[in-house]
Amino acid sequence: MRKDLIALSDDSKVWVYQADKTVDDDTEQRIKEDLHDFSMNWLSHGTPVDCYVNLFHKRFLVFVADDTNHVSGCSIDSSVHFIKALEQKYGLNFFDRLTFAYVKDDEFRFIHNSNLNPAYKSGQITDDTRMVNNLVKSKEEFLSSWIIPLKESWYKKLIR
């Protein structure tokens, strides 16, 4: 059952999926309608999942689920199947984990893993560059640490 983000507990589970391209306004609206429909029917062992789902910045799918009633593996699988259907419907890829997002000049920018070190060495990306951490696991972590400086993120381990 769809809830407001604020209504869910801080330890609610979070999954973030980054699209391979930014969608236009019309596609954004249609995806948000699909997300609403999914959230109203998302079940775990026949029980509605208290959840919040949204598309942020026309690129990031965010699923937040209250785990009080234990979100089951089957319900997680159903969300992945739903995302795969969105990919097909809109010509997107939400499962490319080798492209990283960061914020520069108040805009989201994207860089492939193989270009991260050269970008760091050239100064395009610095320790203070705000990186998007799509590996956040809880609502609290999403709200506090979804976008953090490179020096405080797991990305720093990739810099050589």
Domain with 129 in it: 99-158
Question: CA-to-CA distance for 23 and 5, rounded, in angstroms?
Answer: 23
Pair (82, 16) in one structural domain: yes
Pair (85, 103) in one structural domain: no
Question: CA-to-CA distance for 78 and 146, rounded, in angstroms?
Answer: 24
Question: pLDDT grade, residue 84 (50/70/90)?
Answer: very high
Pair (83, 107) in one structural domain: no
Pair (82, 103) in one structural domain: no
Asked whether residue 69 carries a pLDDT value surpassing 80, the answer given is no
Digit-coded pLDDT (tens) for 11-60: 999 999 999 999 999 999 999 999 999 999 999 988 899 999 999 999 99
Digit-coded pLDDT (tens) for 118-154: 999 999 999 999 999 999 999 999 999 999 999 999 9
Q: What is the pLDDT of residue 72?
A: 85
Pair (70, 134) in one structural domain: no
Pair (106, 134) in one structural domain: yes
Pair (112, 83) in one structural domain: no
Query: Could you give phi then psi for residue 13, rounded to 5 degrees?
Result: -75, 145
CATH of the domain at 47: 3.30.310
Structural domain count, the chain = 2
